[in-house]
Amino acid sequence: MTRAIARLVWGSALVLPLAFLAVAATRRGPGAIPVAAPPLLLWSAIAASFAAIALAHALPPRLGPSRAGREATVLTRLAVAWALCEGAALFPAVAWMVTGDARLLGVFGVDLLAIVTLFPSERRLAALVPGDGPDEPGDRWR
């Protein structure tokens, strides 16, 4: 059950930034808001992406176990990682919407790739189990 829920949440973390990008694409055009400092937004997006991706890999295993149990702990840890990367993906999409700087789409792509790499595979789920790991790695997450 936890694996199915994890895949559903991961899918939404992957799809929502793409949906937001589609909305941002409709905002581009003659009525777009001019911004005086596109390089500042680009470098801010790069810094935010770097920090969020690093935290998405380093922080979840360090989160304490949930009182709700091992499966809840794993799902929480996964959700934290996905949320960090999803938030990072939305920033360059908004900055692109405002500035039109296509380099921000590259930053968006890196953030989206970070979400893809956080797919809830058997290995990733087992790595996030508190303690020594699952007793039955092949069966616990079905």
* Mean pLDDT, rounded, for 69-90: 88
Residue 129 or 25, more confident: 129
Any idea where the domains of the chain sit in the sequence?
A: 2-127
Q: Is residue 6 within 8 Å of residue 125, measured between CB atoms?
A: yes
Q: Is residue 77 within 8 Å of residue 61, measured between CB atoms?
A: yes
> What angle do the packed helices 103-117 and 38-58 form, to 10 degrees?
10
- Separation CA 19–CA 22 (nearest Å): 5
Per-residue three-class SS string for 124-139: HHHHCCCCCCCCCCCC
pLDDT for position 137: 41
The HSE-up count of residue 59 (CA atoms within 13 Å, CB side) is 16
Per-residue three-class SS string for 65-118: CCCCCHHHHHHHHHHHHHHHHHHHHHHHHHHHHHHCCCHHHHHHHHHHHHHHHC
Q: Which range among 24-28, 81-85, 117-121 shows the weakest confidence by mean pLDDT?
A: 24-28
pLDDT at 47 over 80: yes
pTM: 0.69
